Chain A
Amino acid sequence: MIKLKRNSNKKRRIIIASIAIFILVIATGIYLSTSNSWFREHILNIKPGAEQSKNVDTRPTNSVDYSGPSKSDIDASQQGKEKGAAPPSAPADPGSVSVAVSFAGVSNGSVEVRAFIPSIIEGSGQCTATLIKDGEKVEKSNTAFVDASSSQCNPIYIPLSDFPSKGVWSLVVSYKSPDAKGSSEKIEVNL
Chain B
Amino acid sequence: MNKLIIVDTLKNKIFWLILIVITGIFVVASLLLANTLIGKQKTAALSGSDFNAGRIIDDAVFYNSNSMSSDQIQSFLNSKVPNCDTNGSGIATEWGSSLTRAAYAASRGWNAPPYTCLKDFRQDTPQMEAASGLCGSIAAGNRSAANIIFTVAQACNINPQVLTVLLEKEQSLVTDIWPLQKQFLNATGFACPDTAPCNPQYNGFFYQVYYAARQFKVYQAYPNNYNYIAGRTNRIYWHPDLARCGSSNVYIENQATAALYIYTPYRPNAAALNNLNGSGDSCSSYGNRNFWRLFTQWFGSTYEEYSYAFEPMVGTGSYTFPADVSVSTSKVITIGDKMYVLYGDTKSHTLQMLHWNGSSWSRHILDGPAGVSFGATQSAVNPTSIEAFSYGNSLQYFYTDSTTNSLRHGFTMNGQLAIETMDGTPTSYLGKTRSLGSSISGFVYGNDGIQLYYFDTGRNSLVHTWWNGRVWNTEEMDGTPTSYLGKTRSLGSSISGTPFNDGIQLFYYDIGNGELIHTFILAGRWVTEVMDGDTNAVLGNYINAGRKVNVSNVNGQLVVLYYDDASAFSSSGRTSAWRIAYTSKRTGNWMKNILDGGSTSSKSGQAAALPLSGITVGSYRGTVQIFYNDSQNYLKHVWLY
Contacts and interface: CB of A to CB of B under 8 A. Distances in A.
Contact of A24 (B24, B192, B193): B24
B243 interface: yes
A64 B80 CA distance: 12
A99 B237 CA distance: 11
B392 to A, nearest CB: 27
Interface stretch (B261-269, B460-468, B517-525): B261-269
A24 B23 contact: yes
A20 to B, nearest CB: 5
Contacts of A187: 235
Contacts of B168: 76
Q: How many residues of A sit at the interface, in one of the four size bands?
A: 35 or more
B491 to A, nearest CB: 29
Interface stretch (B172-180, B407-415, B419-427, B449-457): B172-180
B624 A59 contact: no
A137 interface: no
A181 B225 CA distance: 22
Interface string A167-191: 0000000000000000011010000
A70 B189 CA distance: 24
Contact of B640 (A58, A65, A88): A58
B68 interface: yes
Contacts of B311: 47, 49
Interface string B545-582: 00000000011000000000000000000000000000
Interface residues of B, number: 108
B527 interface: no
Contacts of B488: none
A18 B624 CA distance: 47
Nearest to A8: B9
B20 to A, nearest CB: 5
A62 B300 contact: yes
A65 to B, nearest CB: 5
A161 interface: no
B243 A98 contact: yes
B227 A53 contact: no
A84 B198 contact: yes
A104 interface: yes
Contact of A116 (B19, B243, B265): B265
Interface string B174-213: 1111011011001001111111111100000000000110
B199 A66 contact: no
A119 B196 contact: yes
Given A47-B311, A52-B621, A118-B193, A84 B186 contact: yes
Given A56-B621, A60-B64, A9 B242 contact: no
Contact of B262 (A2, A5, A147): A147
Contacts of A24: 23-24, 27
B235 A104 contact: yes
Interface string A2-38: 1001100100110011001000100110010001000
Given A5-B8, A9-B8, A58 B306 contact: yes
A21 to B, nearest CB: 8
Contacts of B242: 98-100, 118, 184-185
Interface of B: 1, 4-5, 8-9, 12, 16, 19-20, 23-24, 27, 31, 35, 43, 58, 60-61, 64, 66-68, 72, 75-76, 79-82, 94-95, 110, 161, 168, 170-177, 179-180, 182-183, 186, 189-199, 211-212, 215, 224-229, 232, 234-237, 240, 242-243, 247, 262-265, 277, 290, 297-301, 303-307, 309, 311, 356, 358-359, 554-555, 620-624, 637, 639-641
7 contacts: A20-B20, A49-B637, A58-B640, A66-B75, A119-B196, A148-B263, A149-B264
Interface of A: 1-2, 5-6, 9, 12-13, 16-17, 20, 24, 27-28, 31, 35, 47-49, 52-53, 55-70, 72-81, 83-85, 88-89, 91, 98-104, 114-116, 118-121, 147-150, 152-155, 184-185, 187
